Structure 1
Amino acid sequence: MTDQARHSRTAVVIPAAGRGVRLGPGAPKALRALNGTPMLIHAVRAMAASRAVSLVVVVAPADGVAEVKAMLDAHALPGGPPSGSWGSTDYVVVPGGDTRQESVHLGLKAVPDDITTVLVHDAARPLVPVDTVDAVIEAVRDGAVAVVPALPVADTVKEVEPAEPGAPEQVVATPVRARLRAVQTPQGFDRETLVNAHATIALTGEGATDDAGMVEKLGAPVVVVPGHEEAFKVTRPLDLVLAEAVLARRRANDGF
């Protein structure tokens, strides 16, 4: 690693403006409690656990910026700057848009010019280990323009022709499982590459749900580093049960 890479700064953008309807009615998904603490707080702490991360930009619902800022302040360590901090990691809150792609784009605008590496992390992946975060950052600093953590796919996957909900769907292909990976976050990027992707790829429909996919559309290479089973996405009620079990195991083993 070059001296320039060692001294480059990393920021994380966490889009947390979604409603998370699959978890059922109630607060936005990122604000749902996990072991008594909002998932978003767990996610920010997971990013701040990396010594390489100097800033976390939280993209909140447009009508919930003050609420999210107050929540982050309530869980922050004392003695930080006005924007708040966890130790050496600062955080800011900005309003999001109607789609994830729009929210990430707005979060990128809040990243200072001296930041060279940007991660994008799902607030709904609150338990990603710091080793995974560091591996993504390290790969970007070593020259990759886009990096995703991922796991081999355990199930056989079928490509189907979509049908109405509940109706049988015709299988059209069976991809080779050995070539498939289940992608997680944080996804890491050379800052200029990610900004270019968001400036180039048109926002259509619900927008892009995967920033690495936007970079792929530019023709830039995306590489994979090993993910972690605890970096799963909390999407459905059963995922909350699993996440609570992981936290309970961490408390028992590590005093987390």
Structure 2
Amino acid sequence: MTPQPPRVQTTANPPIPGGFAVVVVAAGSGTRLGQGIPKALVRVGDRTILEHCLTGITTSGVTADDGDWDEGPVVVTVPAGDTGLTDVARSQGAVAVTGGADRADSVRNALEHLRALGCRPRGVLVHDAARCLAPTEVFARVARALVDGQEAVIPVLPVVDTIRAVDGTGACQGVVDRSGLRAVQTPQGFDWDLLLAVNDAAADHPEVSVTDDASLVEKFSDRTVHTVAGDDAALKITRPLDLVLAEALLARTLNRTEPRP
């Protein structure tokens, strides 16, 4: 197995609750990244995006004490016909399942796999593989919120850019008040039964399109989605510039954790 670089974790914080299942969404083609391979196989430093992601999940401790499941509590969704990501997942102790036509279908396939195992995790975290450098503190905040009784939790950041509304012709319609706006990240955390229920409901309404799992909770349940603080390091690698930023962030993190002479 490839040696795993150290990751930053604040030891002053209380221990991160374990017993969670994690669904890693990694079935994207990565067309906008322009590397000609599935995004999660692209390398950041000397390791693939998926390797970084799975290392972060393991280091966070959210899957610790996972009981007597026959398979690991981390399920990775991969493109149909994939072998490369499947091999990476297995090497890191995760299970790979074929994703669907869109994100919601992919997550549903992963949940069906977990349901077939007969497991009842403490909760489920759904994480984008492309946010492969998400710090352990973000996992901790989401996990603790679920343990404290919240049923749907998302990490968010304040919106710092000026946002303008435009019409169909491109004409400006004024500045949008950004004080109540937040940019959403992952991992997103959910009560196990709630996430199963909203995904089952969504399967009966294929006309409903969503971009994250919290939207399913809002559309197909009466539960409230709560927020915790995200982190700039949990950027999503989508475009070539994002890859440059991730490389720089990784280099800075390694430089801070390497022993000094």
TM class by smaller structure: 0.7 to 0.9
Shift of 1:115: 1.1
Aligned partners of 1:115 and 1:8: how far apart in 2? 9
Corresponding position of 2:154: 148
Aligned partners of 1:8 and 1:52: how far apart in 2? 4
**TM-score, length basis structure 2:** 0.82
Q: How does 1:51-200 map to 2 (within 5 A)?
A: 51-54=61-64, 55-64=73-82, 66-74=83-91, 76=92, 85=93, 91-111=94-114, 112=117, 113-161=119-167, 163=168, 169-172=170-173, 174-200=175-201
Unaligned residue ranges in structure 1 (runs of 5+): 1-5, 77-84, 86-90
Q: Which runs of 4+ in 1 moved over 3 A?
A: 171-174
Shift of 1:200: 1.1
Shift of 1:51: 1.5
Shift of 1:45: 1.1
- Paired amino acid for 1:40: L
Is the contact between residue 9 and residue 117 of structure 1 (CA under 8 Å) also seen in structure 2? yes
Corresponding position of 1:3: none
Deviation by residue 1:26-49 (Cα, 9 ceiling, x = unmatched): 101111111021101111111111
Deviation by residue 1:109-149 (Cα, 9 ceiling, x = unmatched): 12242213001101110100001101101101111110000
Matched residues, number? 230
Aligned partners of 1:183 and 1:20: how far apart in 2? 20
Is the contact between residue 124 and residue 234 of structure 1 (CA under 8 Å) also seen in structure 2? yes
Change (3 A) 1:10 1:159: same
Change (3 A) 1:173 1:211: farther
Corresponding position of 1:82: none
Change (3 A) 1:7 1:51: closer
Is the contact between residue 58 and residue 107 of structure 1 (CA under 8 Å) also seen in structure 2? yes
- Paired amino acid for 1:60: V
Q: How does 1:21-40 map to 2 (within 5 A)?
A: 21-40=31-50
Corresponding position of 1:238: 241
Change (3 A) 1:199 1:173: farther
- Paired amino acid for 1:129: P
- Paired amino acid for 2:240: P
Aligned partners of 1:152 and 1:246: how far apart in 2? 20
Corresponding position of 2:52: 42
Higher strand proportion (structure 1 or 2)? 1
**TM-score, length basis structure 1:** 0.84
Is the contact between residue 17 and residue 147 of structure 2 (CA under 8 Å) also seen in structure 1? no
Aligned partners of 1:73 and 1:199: how far apart in 2? 28
Corresponding position of 2:6: none
Aligned partners of 2:174 and 2:227: how far apart in 1? 24
- Paired amino acid for 1:34: V
Change (3 A) 1:170 1:12: same
Is the contact between residue 13 and residue 56 of structure 1 (CA under 8 Å) also seen in structure 2? yes
Shift of 1:173: 5.1
Deviation by residue 1:182-207 (Cα, 9 ceiling, x = unmatched): 110000000111111111122237x4
Shift of 1:243: 0.3
Is the contact between residue 41 and residue 84 of structure 2 (CA under 8 Å) also seen in structure 1? no
**What fraction of aligned residue pairs are identical, expressed as a percent?**
40
- Paired amino acid for 1:58: V
Corresponding position of 1:248: 251
Give the aligned CA root-mean-square deviation in angstroms: 1.9
- Paired amino acid for 2:22: V
Q: Tell me, what secondary structure is at the counterpart of 2:172?
A: strand
Is the contact between residue 149 and residue 184 of structure 1 (CA under 8 Å) also seen in structure 2? yes
Aligned partners of 2:211 and 2:163: how far apart in 1? 20
